[in-house]
Amino acid sequence: MKTEVIDEKIQSPIRNKVKKEKWRSFYLRLQKNKLALVGGIIVLFYMLLALTASLIAPHDPYEIDLLNKLQQPSMEHWLGTDDKGRDVLSRLLYGAQLSLGVGFASLFLGAFFGIILGIVAGYYGKWIDTIIMRFIDILLAFPGILLALAIVAALGSSLINVTIAVGIFTIPVFARIVRGSTLSVKKLEYIDAVRSLGANDITIIFKHILPNILSPIIVQGTLRLATVILTTSALSFLGLGAQPPLPEWGAMLSNGRDFLFSAPYLTIFPGLAIATLVLGFNLFGDGLRDALDPRLKK
Amino acid sequence: MFVYIIRRFLQTIPVLLGVIFVVFLIMKLVPGDPAVLIAGEGATEETIETIRNDLGLNDPLLVQYFSYLKDIVQGDFGESIRSNRPVFDEIMVRLPITMELALISILFSIVLGMIAGILSATKPNSIADITIMLLALIGVSFPSFWIGLMLIFYFSVQLQIFPVAGWDSWMHIVLPSITLGAMGAAIIARMTRSSMLDVIRQDYIRTARAKGLKNRVIIYKHGLKNAIIPVITVIGLQFGVLLGGAVITETVFAINGLGRLIVDSIYARDLPMIQGTVLTASVIFVIVNLIVDTLYRYFNKRIELD
Amino acid sequence: MLEQEDKILEVRQLQTHFFTDEGISKAVDGVDFVLHKGETLGIVGESGCGKSITSMSILRLIDSPPGKIVGGEVVFKGENLLSKSEATMRKIRGNEISMIFQEPMTSLNPVFSVGEQIAEVFRVHQNMGRKEAWKKAVEMLKLVGIPSPEERAKQEPHELSGGMRQRVMIAMALSCNPEILIADEPTTALDVTIQAQILELMKTLQNELGMGVIMITHDLGVVSETCDRVAVMYAGKVVEYATADDLFDQPKHPYTIGLMNSLPRMDIDQESLQAIPGNVPSPYNMPNGCRFAPRCPHAKGICHDAIPELRNTDDGSQVRCWMYTPEWEDHSDITKAGVK
């Protein structure tokens, strides 16, 4: 009951209108940014490919055909065949499912725990904040990919373990950003007003703080997807992620590497796939950031 | 300043203890019994139990942690399961190679990134700026292992300028450094540009112009010294990314550094070696951060008052 | 009266526009004034009236793009600065014409000692060596009344108070004994007591060094204390140009009168302070007629239709207002476009 009363007071029609206009101007700014548009199209394109892979793939990505191994790109096999005669294009299409799937899964994993830790640290402060942030500092003390590498080493090489490892690797980024944003939102007067009206912590966090810190989370999430995809494919490239015969792009690249001299396209195409997808997320993320926070622009 | 360094140094101690604890904990998660691994297949239950007792594996977790910590502090990282040699000795053989690679790469990143960033910032929205920023975007988007392989394919296989692999002469250093430094260069270029653009708008730049200074002096003396402050932090963070990235670069170029040692130990499930290598890399990163923070402090004396 | 050769700076029909996504902003739109040797000219107006842009245009410090000086002349010692090369301008900036700014907090470079920042001027304009330039910098700090200048010179801006920093800015500006000092709201950011000290210092140094000062301010109090002659600006144009005495005794333009009425005064009884109703017009969308007409209590049809010229009045001052023209009586309250 209480929350309803509060909502009525806070969400006046004017507030809704302001909100609507905010989204409209955000949309206009995003539309103006041509590069962001290109990024968005690339990302959507890959998502579409991933969703329809089973329909549009010309061949079975797992079908071994040793008679036709290491074929140059041709009409039959647009991007050639690998050392086991499997169609590279079909494998790339199915690989999009893996890359995007693992990417989103580890992102959500990391974001989920990162956001919780960040909000709790920022909202409650004091010793809880100290403990959480020390823990985050420790995670950040591992250089680059090494934390994910160590976790995979412990859990064993598989795509699921890579997802978990990269998810943990992603926690600190979100925790820090969310903590910072929570601290600044917490200072706003209307949070005090809401509290004085009797809202409890859970209501304040979910109804009032979380919606206000959504934009940095979305921007960070998009940009982080780029890093996550790079990291998961790197782990698979090292042989610690997707295991054969899975058509994961990093793993395909690692496999193609043995034929760099005779069949360079086995290395070129999976690499291009990773590169363009990551580029798409980066372009789109940069555009989102500029549109959501015009102050940061140039 | 001295007090600051001491205080900052003391702050890193709990972080280091935490890092050691995490490494210790992660390796406790490893499925399988290290005692079985060491004893080898077909060992009797008694032998395994003896080894377990010798290794202290039957002690409570915290006791094990403190005895591990004690060993680490004394430079005893245990023995490699694979080679039976002390982990510490093997790391010391590999570490200089990785440090050389990392330092050359970060130098490459800094020089290329800052020059590109400054060029971009001095002529915003020009063709040069747009080109540099697109290249930087590519730099942060392309996977390093792919860049490395493409460099090998073009410069080593096609043009035959640089050797494919190894670490013997300066010729061997070029391609790996580019591979490892590319992302850093891109990130530093982006940061330098935005920081420089921010600085150029400041009032003191207007003052410098009103003084009748040359554009060059304004940008490189009055602008750069201010713009470099946030870039320093990025360089520090980038060094960490680079240490991690060495794992990939060394694999691609078959360089026998620390990174490759980590990967090989993971393949061989050589637990003491994995612990030792990951820990070494982290300690180096923590030290680098300490240096970077001190530098930041040096360049940005204002924060002492704020 | 002042002789012709005393004239050191003449600004004629200066126009500085900004070309932005929202359109063209005519921030400075045909400004004229003259500065004589040893004189202090005030340029007064609300923020956004173009007074700062005018001062920046004199030294050609407008960021381009988006800003551009599109017309007029800035004649300094008989030569038009707007046609000079950038290299020549650099020799003038900080040397023959200097400038100080509103924000002493941010106008000094935070990473160099103040001594270094002053010494730089000597090195650039007078080819001095490091040691000599440093010695001169310390002398300048002494001149502007900074105690123990040797020690202060080694300090960085963040170690000095706001008033001290403005003194440093003045020292830097006066290093090369310039003929003109442009002071853009030099005291606005300072405490009242410090304001008086800084103005006093500027006056003393002006008498000592004999330079002309252009005082950009929104503060009529500063004008009455320091200026010999005043140009009142409104929406990119000079609306009244008079000696300070005339301006305060007999303000003519309704805008000037409005400004005066919004100030508390000691000498007359005021019923209440009156703010000028309405807002400054948007620079992208200026009125067709007199730019003050929409806020003017006297405006009639002609005011909304055409911009008045800056005309001489009987007492030698100039005003841009239809009220002081012969046409005033001829016009009724009807505009060409219809009822007001």
| pLDDT single digits (tens) B70-86 | 888 888 888 888 888 89
Q: Do B204 and C125 touch (CB under 8 A)?
A: no
B interface test, pick of C86, C93, C95, C111 with most B CB neighbours within 10 Å: C111
Look at residue A56 in the predicted model and tell me its pLDDT: 83
Task: Please name the residue that has the structure tokens 């707007």.
Answer: C82
Closest CA to A83 of A55, A64, A103, A110: A64
CA C144, CA C139: separation in Å to the nearest integer? 9
Chain B hits for C112, CB-CB cut-off 8 Å, are: 222, 225
In the predicted structure, residue B304 carries a pLDDT above the cut 60: no
Q: Point out the residue among B203, B225, B305 whose CB comes nearest to the CB of C101.
A: B203
Strand, coil or helix: what is A260?
coil
Angle between helices B127-141 and B87-122 (to 10 degrees): 160
Find out whether C81 and C64 touch, Cβ atoms under 8 Å: no
Look at residue A293 in the predicted model and tell me its pLDDT: 66
Average pLDDT of span C267-276:
65
Cα separations in angstroms, B206 against C52, C103, C123, C340 = 13, 11, 19, 45
C-alpha B61, offset from chain centre: 30
Rg (alpha carbons) of chain C, rounded to whole number? 21
Q: Do A141 and B251 touch (CB under 8 A)?
A: no
C23-36 vs C180-184, strand pairing mode: unpaired
pLDDT band at residue B4 under the 50/70/90 scheme: confident
CA B82, CA B101: separation in Å to the nearest integer? 25
Give yes or no for A268 touching B (CB within 8 A): yes
Report chain C's mean pLDDT, rounded to a whole number.
Answer: 83
CA C55, CA B33: separation in Å to the nearest integer? 80
**Looking at the DSSP assignment, which residues form a beta bridge with residue C34?**
C10
Closest CA to A280 of A75, A76, A36: A36
Look at residue A106 in the predicted model and tell me its pLDDT: 95
In the predicted structure, residue B93 carries a pLDDT above the cut 90: yes
Query: Could you tell me if A82 and A4 lie in one domain?
Result: no
DSSP letter for each residue of C104-172: HHHHS-TTS-HHHHHHHHHHHHH---HHHHHHHHHHHHHHTT-SSHHHHHTS-GGGS-HHHHHHHHHHH
Look at residue C302 in the predicted model and tell me its pLDDT: 79
Span C278-334, pLDDT tens digits: 777 887 778 888 888 888 888 777 788 888 888 888 777 888 888 888 777 776 555
The kind and range of the H/E element at B1 are: none
The token pair that represents C123 in the structure block: 């090195």
Look at residue C265 in the predicted model and tell me its pLDDT: 63
Q: Do A230 and B143 touch (CB under 8 A)?
A: yes
**Looking at the DSSP assignment, which residues form a beta bridge with residue C20?**
C23
CA A83, CA A255: separation in Å to the nearest integer? 9
Look at residue B245 in the predicted model and tell me its pLDDT: 92
Domain count, chain A: 2
Average pLDDT of span A208-225:
88
Query: Could you tell me if A105 and A25 lie in one domain?
Result: no
Look at residue B111 in the predicted model and tell me its pLDDT: 95
Cα separations in angstroms, A203 against A184, B109, B187, C55 = 18, 47, 39, 55
Q: With the CA atoms of B128, B131, B133 and B136 taken in that order, what torsion angle do they form, in degrees rounded to the nearest 10?
A: -130
Q: Do B194 and A152 touch (CB under 8 A)?
A: no
The token pair that represents B185 in the structure block: 């260069």
Task: Please name the residue that has the structure tokens 């900074």.
Answer: C146
Rounded to a whole number of angstroms, the distance from the CA of A21 to the nearest CA of chain B is 28
CATH number at residue A174: 1.10.3720.10
The token pair that represents B47 in the structure block: 């032998």
CA C129, CA B84: separation in Å to the nearest integer? 66
In the predicted structure, residue A8 carries a pLDDT above the cut 70: no
Task: Note the ipTM here.
Answer: 0.86
Find out whether A265 and A253 touch, Cβ atoms under 8 Å: no
Sorted by sequence, the CB contacts under 8 Å of residue A57 that are 6+ apart come out as: A87, A89, A90, A93, A94
Q: Point out the residue among B203, B210, B226 whose CB comes nearest to the CB of C94.
A: B210
CA A272, CA A153: separation in Å to the nearest integer? 28
The token pair that represents B158 in the structure block: 């096609």
Look at residue C295 in the predicted model and tell me its pLDDT: 84
Give yes or no for A183 touching B (CB within 8 A): no
Question: What share of chain B in percent tops pLDDT 70?
Answer: 96
Look at residue B148 in the predicted model and tell me its pLDDT: 92
Closest CA to B248 of B145, B107, B110: B145
Chain A hits for B153, CB-CB cut-off 8 Å, are: 260, 264, 267
Q: Which residues of B111-145 are buried (b: 16+ CB within 10 A; e: fewer)?
A: ebbbebbbbbbbebeeeebeebbeebbbbbbbbbb
Look at residue A31 in the predicted model and tell me its pLDDT: 67
pLDDT band at residue A3 under the 50/70/90 scheme: very low
Predicted TM-score (pTM) of this structure: 0.83
pLDDT band at residue A101 under the 50/70/90 scheme: very high
Query: Could you tell me if A12 and A140 lie in one domain?
Result: no
Question: What share of chain B in percent tops pLDDT 90?
Answer: 40
The lowest-confidence range among B47-61, B114-128, B266-280, C143-157 is B47-61
Sorted by sequence, the CB contacts under 8 Å of residue A12 that are 6+ apart come out as: none
Query: Could you tell me if A58 and A27 lie in one domain?
Result: no
Average pLDDT of span B91-101:
93
How many B×C Cβ pairs under 8 Å?
Answer: 66
The lowest-confidence range among A25-29, A270-274, B18-22, B280-284 is A25-29
Sorted by sequence, the CB contacts under 8 Å of residue C269 that are 6+ apart come out as: none
Superfamily (CATH H level) for C1-96+179-340: P-loop containing nucleotide triphosphate hydrolases (3.40.50.300)
Residues of chain C with CATH 3.40.50.300: 1-96+179-340
Chain A hits for B265, CB-CB cut-off 8 Å, are: 153
Task: Please name the residue that has the structure tokens 């924060």.
Answer: B303
In the predicted structure, residue B96 carries a pLDDT above the cut 90: yes
How wide is the angle at C-alpha C107 spanned by C-alphas C103 and C111, nearest 5°?
140
Name the burial class of residue C1, with classes exposed (0-12), middle (13-18) and buried (19+) by CB atoms within 10 angstroms of its CB: exposed
Query: Could you tell me if A1 and A46 lie in one domain?
Result: no
- Minimum Cα–Cα distance from B198: chain A residue: A298
Domain span at residue A6 reads 1-32
The kind and range of the H/E element at B205 are: helix B203-210
Name the burial class of residue A197, with classes exposed (0-12), middle (13-18) and buried (19+) by CB atoms within 10 angstroms of its CB: middle
The DSSP code for A254 is H
The topology under which CATH files domain B95-305 is MetI-like fold (1.10.3720)
Q: Do C108 and B210 touch (CB under 8 A)?
A: no
Query: Could you tell me if A140 and A155 lie in one domain?
Result: yes
Find out whether C336 and C289 touch, Cβ atoms under 8 Å: no
The DSSP code for A65 is -
pLDDT band at residue A1 under the 50/70/90 scheme: very low
| Spans of all domains in chain B | 15-73, 95-305
Look at residue B264 in the predicted model and tell me its pLDDT: 92
Task: Please name the residue that has the structure tokens 């004239």.
Answer: C7
Sorted by sequence, the CB contacts under 8 Å of residue B110 that are 6+ apart come out as: B184, B185, B188, B235
pLDDT band at residue B151 under the 50/70/90 scheme: very high
Strand, coil or helix: what is B203?
helix
The token pair that represents C290 in the structure block: 């007199």
In the predicted structure, residue B27 carries a pLDDT above the cut 70: yes
Strand, coil or helix: what is B288?
helix
Cite the DSSP H helix spans in A141-241: 146-155, 159-186, 189-196, 201-203, 210-212, 214-237
Name the burial class of residue A67, with classes exposed (0-12), middle (13-18) and buried (19+) by CB atoms within 10 angstroms of its CB: exposed
CA A248, CA B73: separation in Å to the nearest integer? 41
Look at residue B142 in the predicted model and tell me its pLDDT: 94
C212-217 vs C40-44, strand pairing mode: parallel
Query: Could you tell me if A15 and A65 lie in one domain?
Result: no
Query: Could you tell me if A171 and A187 lie in one domain?
Result: yes
In the predicted structure, residue B191 carries a pLDDT above the cut 90: yes
Average pLDDT of span A207-213:
84
The DSSP code for A296 is G
The lowest-confidence range among C62-66, C76-80, C164-168 is C62-66
Name the burial class of residue A153, with classes exposed (0-12), middle (13-18) and buried (19+) by CB atoms within 10 angstroms of its CB: buried
Report chain B's mean pLDDT, rounded to a whole number.
Answer: 87
